[in-house]
Amino acid sequence: MSYNYLVTAQKPTAATHSVTGHFTSPRDLNLIVAKGNRLEIHTVTAEGLVAVLDVGLYGKVACLQLFHPPSEQQDSLFVLTAKYHVCILSYDEASGDIITRAYGDVKSRVGKSTEIQMIGMIDPDCKVIGIHIYSGLLKIIPLELDSGQELRAMDIRLDDIFVVDLTFLHGCKTPTIAYIAELKDTRQLKVFPLALNELELKQCCWQHNIEPCSSIIIPTPLSCGGCVVVGMETITYYNKDYYKPVPLAKGGVMQCYGKVDSHRYLVGDTTGKLFMLFLQCEERMSDLSEETVTDLKLQLLGEAAIGKSLSYLDNGVVFIASSFGDSQLVKLSTEPTDASGSFVQILDSYTGLGPIIDMAAVDLTRQGYDQLITCSGAGKEGSLRIIRNGIGINELASIDLSNIKGVWALRTSSRDGDEMNNTLVLSFVGQTRILLLNDEEVEEADLGGFSDSEQTFFAGNVVHDQLVQVTMTTIRMIDADGLNLICEWKPASGRNISTVACNREQIVVAIGRDVHYLEIGDGVFKDVSLVTMEHEVACIDITPLSNDKQHAELCALGLWTDISVRVLKLPTLEVIHSRLLGGEIIPRSIAMVQFEGISYLLVALGDGTLFYFNIDPPSGNVTNQKRLVLGTKPVILKHFEVAGTRNIFACSDQPTIIYSSNHKLLFSNVNMKEVTYMCSLNCKAYQDSLALINASFLTIGTVDEIQKLHIRTIPLFESPRRITFHSATRTFGVVTVRDDVPVSVDGACQYVPARSSASTTAASRTYSIADVTGDFRPKAMLGASGAAVEVSSVLLVDSVNFEVLHAHQLRPSECSLAIASCELGGEEYIVVGTGVANQENYESTSGRLLVMTCTNGKLEVFSETEVPGCVYCIIPFNGRLVAAVNNRVSVYSWTEDRQLREVDTYTNNIMALFLKIKGDFILVGDLLRSFSLLVFKQDKKEELSLIAMDTNLNPAMMMAIEIIDDDTFLGADSQHLFICQKNSDATTEEDMRYMIQPAQIHVGDSVNVFRHGSLVMEHPGLSASPILGRPIIFGTVFGAIGMVCQLKDDAYRLLGSLQQSLLTVVNSVGNIEHSVWRAFATEHRTRVSVGFIDGDLVERFLDLPRDKMELVVRNMKLQPAQPGQDAQDPNSNLLDDVVKLVEDLSRLH
């Protein structure tokens, strides 16, 4: 049996749909964006888009439409999923939750799914829902909200089988549809009123023959009705009586539109050009209430992202939802914004990784975790994306200083009233040193009011333009201008200060068990109150919980001996809450912080453990205890701000930044091996920086944008297809393809690049020669067709700065789908596989294997071998290489004269697309035959032979494969993941040749690539890891990053029970069942999901309040242990066990 954990590390980023309206409130303008199975809801403000909700659905969004129900103040949202579920959603402003007001399943037992697109729509009068998901069939659903009944669809037969697009028209007495019908040699626009009572279409009221490549209908809410049809050569307005066309220039194909108002529409094409379509109207003399469209005008506005959907927001601002790169927020101007005459100004971009075609997982920083370098996007949006877990510190300066115990940044007023920091206070055992920051120069100084003969516990700016220094024996107040000592507070009887906390106006100091509360006045310390605790105080914090206040109302203490936390009320120091932490390790640091309006109390112990709670500011009550491991050494919690947002830096042997996103506490690793102390620093030379301490250095650096996964974009402006890492030179080999367009030169058609891109601007370039007699020029290719052509290149990219060092352009009509770094004869080469496009045959009949050297930042073809087809995959294999060429799997050896020689070939495939190796075994992924497992016998015969194959032949295409272990293999088709295993229980040799399929799950996305790797360092808290082996990372078409891990038996049983129990507590948006969403479903059969735990669902357990967690655990029905397995101890603390297990798994990504 195979037990697996599937989880998303990066949610889908490719935007497929966008709509705008008043969803969350009648007063708010909202933008709703669909990305795979997620809905992102934003509010449009003067400052930009503000995220409101991120909603997950148990279904991939196929259609999305906002509509305004009659007699209601807010808009509702209609959703159609790819598995034929429909739902209508509304937003409850009081609770902030999404409400499902209607839902249903519109799948039919019979019917052929439409091959063009799924269409879902609501008529303008909000009477009915129209759905086209089966060829020749229209489903109609009466629109009923809050009825408590499932929506039921009625089938209406269409006159035509193939429908390209379909919509409801405006201004009709009864719901009326218009659709584009694809006929034998042409296309027609047909308009039919609906006869709802008879469940049929009325007689066609009008129709037009239209351009054969017409693909989009735009309904126009004009008094004269009608619609606009978008083709490849024209855009035409059609009405019953007349039509008005406007020609289109040659170039991209129009693929999306967005309504500005009833007379203006934005239209986008496949190259990213953005147009404004104007409908010019006049009032009819016979009827002044009805308009007539007299003309259409189409104006090019400029170029932006390649849009999948366009949404006009307000004041000339447009959101462009892109599936091929970053989505954009743009501003349309009335005057050109640059020299090119563009009217489009880009305001903001939103990361889109999709589609991820290929990726490499490489430990570039040698810190024990991988970075992902993905081939993302297409066309001009093509790019490499560097994805790493955690947050980077960009080092600006470093000072060689050891044994520093603390650091604080100060601002003195002696430099022209500058508000920036100009001083660093460094604390050592038995002394304090002061550093003055003068631009980029640092000099040591003596500040008169400071004590430099003691270790400093705290230093900082306070009210009344004063400074405070706290040492073991004294609290000193210093004039920030003259730097003179103003006053001093000392403990009675010569006792020593053990720990202290200070803010702008208050100080709480502990002397053993005694706690003093002081208030900072103008030149004086006011000793307000004193309390004696039961045990010695270990740590204190008095950070105000309201981010706009300087005065704290609560004080948090951590105590020795009983290992507890106390919350005290200020100024009385009355204990209003206490909490025992348990164990024997004392708290070393404590912090109160407010993130996104939610207040937290964090307590770090001496062994690297962190407890965190919710704290109620008025009452001081602490609830919802949670625990995780941040490292193995004591953790110090420090506040800091980035871009005006407060965060917590956890200093330890594995430094971590704690922050909040979507009201969820997140923990991201920092790319430094150790940080013992830190502070914020904002000086002239190093603005918005951090000063970080470790055992040997003081480092000054800036922090990357605070997010769980950090994504860096390397634009290529052409499509990347494959990538490999060349470890000897620490460079990447990347296969790309660009478009070259025809131009006329001296009456002849030649081809030049459509735009500057990585392959045309590389530092050096070389070119393949077509043949002895062929005419191939670097800057132009002879052509006759006049159509754009694809040109493939191999790029060499530096792994440090990601500069394109070299570009090698392949022959005309030659493309590449395979590249690998292979060690042959003791040397590492980059091997590229190509295929030549053949217009006469569907299948390529020739290609090449190019063995290339990497020397001095340049690629050079060292050897080439002709092959009888297209090379789809290359993989190194024990000093040889294996290539998949059409239906052949061939093993090549490296001869003494350094040439490739074919050793043996296996040909029993339809089309071999993917290869993976382990030892002497070769796993083959076939276009239609799923898996085959081959073995290469390294004896005198040197032959390939089949030892096992998958008999569960899936009709969907194989998209990716990976080897888990010697007997277990992972595969992906267009929507699912599945596991195949050798049949070890078989009793005959013949049965052993056929694999079994013990696990499968629906993903709702197309997985293009698997890679063994880890996004995080091996965590000290995972000594008893619930997973087996190394995780497998995957990338998808929708730009998601996911992970598959193999679970231990006991962890699988526990998580399976947790998953089922969670379904009774976690609400499903749209009332779609989780089991239906995850079921392995094809056109021919449906199987329940088995062998996989849904990590996205399970990890929602950590977001539940404590009482809901307890309810979920109480409802868990633990599966009995199998023979040979450890049984669950009924006396163990099950809730703590479950929380720890899920937290351990969540930290894997």
**Cα separation, 203 vs 343, whole angstroms:** 45
Using DSSP's 3-state secondary structure scheme, residue 1053 falls into: helix
Find out whether 215 and 180 touch, Cβ atoms under 8 Å: yes
* pLDDT at position 413 over 80: no
Q: Which has more confidence, 1137 or 25? A: 25
Q: Which has more confidence, 976 or 338? A: 976
Find out whether 302 and 316 touch, Cβ atoms under 8 Å: no
Q: Which of 48, 49, 52, 55 is nearest to 34 (CA)?
A: 55
* pLDDT at position 331 over 60: yes
pLDDT band at 554, cuts 50/70/90?
A: very high
Structure tokens, 346: 């880009």
* pLDDT at position 440 over 90: no
Average pLDDT of the segment spanning 582-590: 92
Structure tokens, 1015: 């996004």
Q: Which of 794, 713, 801 is nearest to 759 (CA)?
A: 794
In sequence order, the 6+-apart residues with CB closer than 8 A to the CB of 896 are none
What separation, in Å, do the N-terminal and C-terminal C-alpha atoms of the chain show? 25
Give a three-class secondary structure readout of 974-996.
CCEEEEEECCCCCCCHHHHCEEE
Tokens 């496009």 found at: 837
Q: pLDDT tens across 369-401, in order?
A: 788 999 999 999 999 999 988 787 888 888 888
pLDDT band at 785, cuts 50/70/90?
A: very low
* pLDDT at position 1127 over 50: no
Find out whether 130 and 139 touch, Cβ atoms under 8 Å: yes
Cis ω before 355 (30° cut-off from 0): yes
Using DSSP's 3-state secondary structure scheme, residue 367 falls into: coil
Find out whether 926 and 915 touch, Cβ atoms under 8 Å: no
Structure tokens, 62: 């196929």
- Residue type, position 63, single letter: C
Maximum mean pLDDT: which of 189-203, 355-369, 516-530, 941-955 = 516-530
**Cα separation, 631 vs 667, whole angstroms:** 12
Least confidently predicted of 237-246, 284-293, 431-440: 284-293
Cα dihedral sign for 973, 1069, 75, 151?
positive
Q: What's the confidence (pLDDT) of residue 1018?
A: 61
Find out whether 111 and 118 touch, Cβ atoms under 8 Å: no
What are the helix (H) ranges across 863-1006?
Answer: 989-992
Least confidently predicted of 44-48, 287-291, 397-401, 538-542: 287-291
φ/ψ (deg, to 5) at 792: -100, 145
Q: What's the confidence (pLDDT) of residue 180?
A: 93
- The pairing of strands 664-669 and 677-681 is unpaired
Q: Which has more confidence, 905 or 283? A: 905
Q: What is the 3-state composition of the chain as percent helix, strand, coil, each rounded to the nearest 5?
A: 5, 55, 40
**Cα separation, 558 vs 567, whole angstroms:** 9
Q: pLDDT tens across 460-513, in order?
A: 999 998 999 999 999 999 998 888 999 999 998 788 999 999 999 999 999 999
**Which residues partner with 462 through β-bridges?**
466
Sheet with 85-92: strands ordered across: 61-67, 76-81, 85-92, 97-105
pLDDT band at 417, cuts 50/70/90?
A: low
pLDDT band at 1024, cuts 50/70/90?
A: low
Structure tokens, 1057: 């029970």
Q: Which has more confidence, 495 or 149? A: 495
* pLDDT at position 1022 over 60: no
**Cα separation, 6 vs 977, whole angstroms:** 9
- What are the distances in angstroms from CA 134 to CA 164, 198, 405, 779? 12, 20, 70, 48
Cα dihedral sign for 1075, 1077, 1078, 1081?
positive
**Cα separation, 676 vs 401, whole angstroms:** 13
Q: What's the confidence (pLDDT) of residue 663?
A: 75
Q: To the nearest whole percent, how much of the chain has pLDDT over 70?
A: 94
* pLDDT at position 422 over 90: no
Find out whether 141 and 153 touch, Cβ atoms under 8 Å: yes
CA 412 to chain centroid, in Å, comes to 43
Average pLDDT of the segment spanning 1075-1092: 88
**Cα separation, 391 vs 670, whole angstroms:** 5
* pLDDT at position 676 over 80: yes
Q: What's the confidence (pLDDT) of residue 813?
A: 87
* pLDDT at position 772 over 60: no
**Cα separation, 404 vs 442, whole angstroms:** 17
Q: What's the whole-number average pLDDT of the chain?
A: 88
Q: What's the confidence (pLDDT) of residue 773?
A: 32
Q: What's the confidence (pLDDT) of residue 1083?
A: 73
Structure tokens, 202: 């009325």
Find out whether 194 and 203 touch, Cβ atoms under 8 Å: no
**Cα separation, 339 vs 342, whole angstroms:** 8
User: Which run of H or E residues covers position 166?
Assistant: strand 163-168
φ/ψ (deg, to 5) at 774: -70, 150
Structure tokens, 504: 């702008």
Q: Which of 1039, 1053, 965, 1026 is nearest to 1148 (CA)?
A: 1026
**Which residues partner with 699 through β-bridges?**
398, 692
Average pLDDT of the segment spanning 696-709: 82
Cis ω before 571 (30° cut-off from 0): yes
Structure tokens, 151: 């929506």
φ/ψ (deg, to 5) at 942: 45, 70
Q: What is the CA radius of gyration of the chain?
A: 33
pLDDT band at 952, cuts 50/70/90?
A: low
Q: What's the confidence (pLDDT) of residue 43?
A: 94
Find out whether 286 and 324 touch, Cβ atoms under 8 Å: no
Q: What's the confidence (pLDDT) of residue 284?
A: 67
Using DSSP's 3-state secondary structure scheme, residue 422 falls into: coil
Sheet with 537-541: strands ordered across: 537-541, 554-559, 564-569, 574-580
* pLDDT at position 822 over 90: yes
**Which residues partner with 614 through β-bridges?**
600, 623
Average pLDDT of the segment spanning 211-236: 90
Q: Which of 627, 483, 390 is nearest to 1137 (CA)?
A: 627
Least confidently predicted of 21-35, 679-693, 856-870, 934-948: 934-948
Maximum mean pLDDT: which of 114-123, 315-324, 398-407, 699-708 = 315-324
Q: pLDDT tens across 183-222, in order?
A: 888 899 999 998 877 778 888 888 999 998 899 999 998 8
* pLDDT at position 774 over 50: no
CA 961 to chain centroid, in Å, comes to 22
Q: What is the per-residue burial (b if ≥16 Cβ within 10 Å, else e) of 71-107?
A: eeebbbbbbbbbbbbbbbbbbeeeeeebebbbbbbbe
pLDDT band at 951, cuts 50/70/90?
A: low
Q: What's the confidence (pLDDT) of residue 784?
A: 42
Tokens 């229980």 found at: 985
**Cα separation, 416 vs 434, whole angstroms:** 20
Task: Work out the number of other CB atoms within 10 angstroms of the CB of residue 787.
Answer: 10
Structure tokens, 512: 């053993």
Q: What's the confidence (pLDDT) of residue 286?
A: 57
Average pLDDT of the segment spanning 849-858: 93
Q: What's the confidence (pLDDT) of residue 415?
A: 53
* pLDDT at position 1058 over 90: yes
* pLDDT at position 981 over 50: yes
Average pLDDT of the segment spanning 1007-1028: 74
- The torsion defined by the Cα of 1136, 1139, 1143 and 1145, in degrees rounded to 10, comes to 110
Q: What's the confidence (pLDDT) of residue 515?
A: 95
Q: What's the confidence (pLDDT) of residue 671?
A: 78
- What are the distances in angstroms from CA 292 to CA 168, 228, 238, 262, 581? 20, 14, 11, 13, 77
**Which residues partner with 757 through β-bridges?**
none
